[in-house]
Each structure stands twice: as C-alpha cells, then as structure tokens.
Amino acid sequence: MSMTGVSFGCVASVLGYCLLPMIILSSFGVLFSLQGMMGIIITATIIGWCSFSASKIFISALAMDGQQLLVAYPCALLYGVFALISVF
C-alpha cells in the first residue's frame, strides 16, 4: 500500500507509541470495574484514540494519502486485543 519501503522498526515504534493510552485504560481497570456500560464506553474510546493516532502517523510517515481507514481497521483490531486483556 505504501510507495516507500516499510521497516520493522518504524511499524514497531508507531504501534508501541500509540499503545500508551492503554495505560489509562489499565489504570481505570485497577480503580474501577470495566465490565459495565461505562467500561465499554471508555474501552471503545481508548481503542478509537489508539487506532486513529497510529493510522495518522502511518499515513504521514509512509506517504499513504487517502488510505487512513484501510490502516485504521487493522490497528483497531490489534488495540482491541490489548483492551480485552485490560478489561478481563
């Protein structure tokens, strides 16, 4: 999808950097139960935040104009797995 080459270091650093809002979710999970409606809302917000910021960085770093939704979907799946670990 990208015209330029993609390195493993670039992908790992972007995904790791955008994983930082999951720390907020984990902190909420320590203090409150995330298994109610409020937990679902907070978890969905954090997943959206992580995937949106990761896709924006990928789009700008790899010159992939107009492909943000194609990049955001797999990012959201990845961050959704980490959110499931935090919730349960």
| Chain segment 52-88, per-residue pLDDT in tens | 999 999 898 888 888 888 989 999 999 999 999 888 8
Q: State the DSSP H helix or E strand holding residue 37, giving kind and residue range, or none if neither.
A: helix 37-62
Q: How confident is the model at residue 3 (pLDDT cuts 50, 70, 90)?
A: low
DSSP per residue, 42-61: HHHHHHHHHHHHHHHHHHHH
Q: Which pLDDT does position 1 carry in this prediction?
A: 63
